[in-house]
Structure 1
Amino acid sequence: MAVHDDYKLRFLELKAKRTYCYIVFKIEEKQKQVIVEKVGEPAQSYEDFTASLPANECRYAVYDFDFVTVENCQKSRIFFIAWSPDTSRVRSKMIYVSSKD
């Protein structure tokens, strides 16, 4: 599975510059490549992120999670999410699982 150049650029912007709060990626089955479907601005919340995921289709996403530790230290972690709802097509689930790495 090929990865579009925009994918790498957007991820680096999220990681280094914190330009985005989240990025949702979609596999274009006809082109056989992963593309950026949606980006979340830094002010958007986790609820905005979950609302951007389709109810019946698979997606990949990365989410930049900010939190405060018990020691009152500001931290950030980037999570990779493989979104695969039960109502999505079996073929789609198989493509997303086999392409995850």
Structure 2
Amino acid sequence: MANSASGMAVNDECKLKFLELKTKRNFRFIVFKIDEKIPQIMVEKLGEPNDSYDDFTASLPLDDCRYAVFDFDFITDENCQKSKIFFISWSPDASKVRNKMLYASSKDRFKRELDGIQFELQATDPSEMSLDIVKGRAV
């Protein structure tokens, strides 16, 4: 199951937890980390259903890359409750070049494993994934 470009396999827990987020709404967000020792993409953190977007952004390291999914709830102009699932590729400027390359080369395959993603954001700085940007994309 390894990705030929990066050698990263996807741990089954990633797909299972994503399915729970999508269907049961058990989590607000999931942060994924590449564990180079095993080479696999693993679940690093699960956000509680009532966690905020600030809780989510605070769980991303300032000096290392991560993948994440965030279940964004909002009310439309027609007063309908909606939800959109965002895939966020977090690659801060302070992270090592090797890690940036590893995450970049594994992203597309990993994203394909998570069926149901509606929007994607790539961010190198918190301002590139502000709540306003997420709202603007979702609505």
What TM-score, normalized by structure 1, do the two folds share?
0.98
Question: Between Structure 1 and Structure 2, how many residues are aligned?
Answer: 101
The amino acid across from 2:39 in the alignment is K
Q: Hey, what does 1:39 align to over in structure 2?
A: 46
| Long gaps (5+) in structure 1 | none
Q: Which has the higher helix share?
A: 2
Q: Hey, what does 1:68 align to over in structure 2?
A: 75
Where do residues 1-101 of structure 1 align in structure 2 (5 Å cutoff)?
1-101=8-108
The amino acid across from 2:76 in the alignment is T
The amino acid across from 1:23 in the alignment is I
What TM-score, normalized by structure 2, do the two folds share?
0.72
User: How high is the sequence identity, in percent, across the aligned residues?
Assistant: 69
**Runs of 4+ in structure 1 over 6 Å off:** none
* 2: CA distance, partners of 1:90 / 1:29: 15
Q: Which has the higher strand share?
A: 1
Q: Hey, what does 2:122 align to over in structure 1?
A: none
* 2: CA distance, partners of 1:32 / 1:99: 11
* 1: CA distance, partners of 2:102 / 2:88: 15
Residue deviations 1:25-62 (CA, integer Å, cap 9, x gap): 00011211100000000010000000000000000000
For the residue of structure 2 that corresponds to 1:71, the secondary structure is coil
* 2: CA distance, partners of 1:71 / 1:52: 33
| Long gaps (5+) in structure 2 | 1-7, 109-139
